[in-house]
Structure 1
């Protein structure tokens, strides 16, 4: 048995997000001493979880064992409420890397959707950064707000309900990402909103759309253009039978990245 010094254990606190796992089922919630989690496998009182070390096992009133963990960003993204297809965590991770998102950055996104990327951006920029999210649909922005409040990240995000063709209210953003069907139509807006040398990204489902964007990027004098897709394969975690699982997370979209160039520079 692994031994821990009592003072070194990280414990759950009231108001934090917690996650209980029973077999393949995950339940994410904010710890409230007056609340309880009701499942088909029994009821668990939140007050029995507060101050409990993360990584502990707890039993429901039916005696079913649940693993108690602090949810990762991936857990949160996969369990957000959604009314539209979300950008998958495998793509989001690379988007954050390629756009150089970090604490204190200012980021613009257009195409809020259910708010998966919005949530990840808010998580990474932290309380010193800001995310500005554009969408024409009020219902999608309201859903995204609910997801952000649930994750405790709503203070990092400001929503703009407006068509991007009208321009961005912000200037000198560090990065800008488009989840729109015809992003090439907004490249002039992108250039005006980004700081010189900023980073641009987009996601598209088909090659025809990617080709149209590539033509637009060349016409609008963007450089460092790249197109890629992320394929994710998991493996069976049994040492004696290590092999790929039968299913994998394959094509979910093409990712396009570029940088606006100064006039007079030819790549």
Structure 2
């Protein structure tokens, strides 16, 4: 039997999905009849219950993917395809401490809270109180969030470490989802342990380019830019073919690892033809930027002299 307070996913034959916290006083009213929560409580995951009209519903234990897709939202949210790669790439697991900025509707916050477990900590920053409230509501709905500290109304331009310092530790990983992340790159090393991974989400390639420039000028290495595409297939053994629609581009994920620069290491790296061309392009860009800055300083000095 299921206990009140447990999370259940109820699925109709038409594929309609209802995520509910089991409450014996709150029956589910659907177009296919009323589903009594007392009947659901008598059932178990993987079984069938019927509405008062006799329509069958499956009783399913929700997965993390179900929870992420089921968050109530007022903002764009991260999808399971991106969250899954983020969790693996950032090494998120039981007992880890993670910083997230900003929270938004809380889809990633839900995943982080679920994954770090009772011994882990999540510090999530959100400037807008209404979004922070929605994030907390989604956490509460799934019985999560005891390991989540919300930092509301704080500008991360002032730093990420206000709350982690209270805990006497730095974070094991950091995820930054803001419009201009390159403005905050210089603040990240103080918030994470040496060698820790960081990740960013950006919608446009021009923003990615600006971020990469900031990362190459800061103590970061192992840069990666990725977009996750999912193409599902028809599940008919006799007529296997791709679905007519696919989940394609939702955003660019940028990864890096905190790493102090080392000239000896860089000099020992073998450079192929492609890497040499990339290095020349980078040196050309840096030289042009240096010349531009020098000209600007010269004009400023002339104005002061005049």
Matches within 5 A, 1:178-193: 178-193=176-191
Matched, 1:228 2:220: no
Query: How many pairs does the alignment contain?
Result: 257
- The answer as to whether partners of 2:99 and 2:124 remain within 8 angstroms in 1 is yes
Q: Name 1:6's counterpart in structure 2.
A: none
Residue pair 1:231, 1:249 contacting (<8 A) in 2 also: yes
In structure 1, the residue matched to 2:72 is 81
Could you tell me how far 1:263 is from its partner in structure 2?
Answer: 4.8
Which of 19, 33, 52 is the aligned partner of 2:24? 33
Q: Greater helix share, 1 or 2?
A: 2
Q: What is the deviation of 1:51?
A: 4.1
2:155 is matched with 163
Q: Which has the higher strand share?
A: 1
TM-score, normalised relative to structure 1: 0.93
**Which residue of the partner structure matches residue 198 of structure 2?**
200
Whole-Å separation in 1 of the counterparts to 2:72 and 2:51? 25
CA–CA distance in 2 between the matches of 1:232 and 1:156?
A: 31
Whole-Å separation in 1 of the counterparts to 2:79 and 2:64: 12
Matched, 1:62 2:53: yes
CA distance in structure 2 between the aligned counterparts of 1:29 and 1:121, rounded to whole angstroms:
21
2:127 alignment counterpart: 136
- Spell out, residue by residue over 1:134-162, the C-alpha distance to the aligned partner (whole angstroms, 9 max, x if none): 01100000000000000111202110011
Higher relative contact order (CA 8 A, sep 6+): 1
1:249 is matched with: 247
Residues 1:125 and 2:123 are matched in the alignment: no
Match of 2:81 in 1: 90
CA distance in 1: counterparts of 2:219 and 2:60, whole angstroms: 48
Rg larger for: 2
The CA RMSD measured in Å over matched residues stands at: 1.2
Secondary structure of the 1:134 match is strand
CA–CA distance in structure 1, aligned partners of residues 96 and 231 of structure 2? 31
The list of structure 1 runs, each at least 4 consecutive aligned residues, that deviate by more than 4 angstroms after superposition, is none
Cα deviation code 1:197-253 (max 9, x no counterpart)? 111000101000000000000001210100111000111101001110000000000
Unaligned runs of 5+ in 1: 1-10
| TM-score, L = length of structure 2 | 0.82
Give yes or no for contact 1:172–1:196 (8 Å, CA) kept in 2: no
SS at match of 2:194: strand
2:260 corresponding residue in structure 1: 262
Identify the residue that residue 99 of structure 2 maps to in structure 1.
108
